[in-house]
Structure 1
């Protein structure tokens, strides 16, 4: 393989126990680390850890950031509007789950 570069892909299972740093979360979502800081400042993300250097994020945070990016792109909206849409989507899903558990909503 002359002139080529061998790359490998590693899949890591990320739970919600908080294993990703700010930089790792940013890289996983294709955004800048300072944007992750902005999300924390706006209370869109709530990392584990008291200081930025010790913040850790889990799978739910990856999902939230990726959804925000998609909402901003698809609806051509700003972060604040996308965050409200995300909150409404998550609340709707939470309520549907409660209805399913109560047997009032079929899958």
Structure 2
């Protein structure tokens, strides 16, 4: 029986992740991240891509969009809409479960 040891880090919503780390985690290139920023899906911290960092919330959004594009071949605008709807659903569920 073979055993595999996995190592990971927990990224909190308030943690800031550099653009390089963000791209490594999502397994994407910087152009893809820039496109998400231009679409208004991600809000970077910092004035220019070289200085950008992202929150854990942005990481979650990017990972979901990446999966939507890979698995369902959804374009960026469609994926952005799905993210908005999923977050709205989560907000409504949170309010009703008080």
TM range (shorter): 0.7 to 0.9
Query: Structure 2: any 5+ residue segments left out of the alignment?
Result: 1-5
List structure 1 segments (4+ residues) > 6 angstroms apart after TM superposition: none
Q: Quick check: 1:18–1:48 contact (8 Å CA) kept in 2? A: no
Q: Using CA pairs under 8 Å that are at least 6 residues apart, name the structure with larger relative contact order, 1 or 2.
A: 2
Equivalent residue pairs, number: 94
Query: Structure 1: any 5+ residue segments left out of the alignment?
Result: 1-8, 102-107
- Which of 68, 71, 86 in structure 1 is aligned with 2:68? 71
Q: CA RMSD in A?
A: 1.9
Match of 1:24 in 2: 21
Which of the pair has more CA radius of gyration?
1
Greater share of strand = 2
Task: Give the TM-score of the pair, scaled to structure 1.
Answer: 0.76
Task: Give the TM-score of the pair, scaled to structure 2.
Answer: 0.82
